[in-house]
Structure 1
């Protein structure tokens, strides 16, 4: 039964991923550059949300400063590519991911041994504000004016070299990278480690009683999520070609939380749905200066209140009710 459920989940998630991928790949042929830019940014935000949900949905860790790792990844990539332009971009992305995980390990070792829950959330918020202030005052990183002049690199694959600054090359490269990151997160969540993570989220005390090192596994989820987010931030730097300290601000850290609550915590694709809905609302109200935030906030508030488990959770409950009604209609004798 478990094997059948796992196989069904894999097929469903693979089908959803295929649909998303086909839509993203075909967009440059069907829409203008503005929509393509929004779609590329959306792909990064999907990874941003999925990585945050790896912590919250799997091990119960709440981070209010996840944007700090997005900023660390973006600025580290921009700075390294400027001082060492000859480095292979794939090595830079890998190094940025390791840097994000390393910082998370240091923070996690100091924080998780002493605090959990709201205390851990506040500590990560403090980290985000520290990173924000540092980026605002370091001259080499552009201070409050931001880091400018970020170039899209050339990608050497041995048999050929691709100029990622040409046409939509970087967009497609980014879609491939985001797909690989999403696959990695899916594998972690649905593998042995993910099952351990889920047991911690459901009952940490029982998991510890069964011999699971709860703090060590929470630290792993924090490091994996942070490293993935750092790579997303590194992809963001050449995409936007400009970085400002605002990407480390606590308001930016609220985005993956909102994506997850909007789409659904329990589903792997919940943050992706939330990110898509938020992007549509943001793009649709972009010309309503002064009213955009009010409209988006009101709509999101209504959705969250109407669907406590997120949009996917609401759809799941609706499907369950419809299935029960169909079963009752098929067997009228059980009504008596």
Structure 2
């Protein structure tokens, strides 16, 4: 795609769409289709169906809190995901590259328009500007650091909604692991915004840059032999995958899971109340998306477990995966 330098297209692997469904079989969550966007054809998957509207009555279809199917001749608001980055535009900005059709078995089964509400343009996260740089090799190996510390370095990436208990778990784990001799440090979402990421807000693009920086810092800590505990909402799956790429095999994703109503009931910082009153915009879980991990290494259900049980489950996991015999 050719564009003006001042007005490049959005680069993303996930976007919202309002579509009209024509397929003989219903559109379902998890189904894959061929999407034609301008001159490009790519495979996309239905990540989520957010709303279904009956085209005849224009009324919302009653399918509970989370619709699972879109019947023929219905209009729906959905989230579509591709395997790689796509260049596209929001329909309101540039209609020609902001609309698409879906194809199944050579038949056109749907058409729609693109919106990015709540999702970031990932262009800056994947763009490298540095040139003429050369990596410097360390003389202290990862194995030598592990023998000295009694454990391998790595990143335990705690992700979940605000109020799920990420910081509570991380701080308690840090204290217990330190007492057992681990080289351990917590990177907390609020703490890094006082310094390293003080110049970032909470727009989708700033959230992505926030997690990109933290992922790189966590990878450096892990390379130095530390066990790094990160406590970040990190709502976008693509951002967490970039953090995984930075840390490599030492990255372990931990989904600190709790239902939205549980987190909102806790609301330790009063943020949900402010979001409901409209005082905070783009708040994850209210008017901005949270994409749960598809295949985390560990799930800790803090809506069901006590704090002690949750901490112990992560401690057991760490002892199995990171500890080595001195």
**TM-score normalised by the chain length of structure 1:** 0.24
Higher RCO structure (Cα 8 Å, ≥6 apart): 1
The structure carrying a bigger helix percent of its residues is 1
Question: TM-score under structure 2 normalisation?
Answer: 0.24
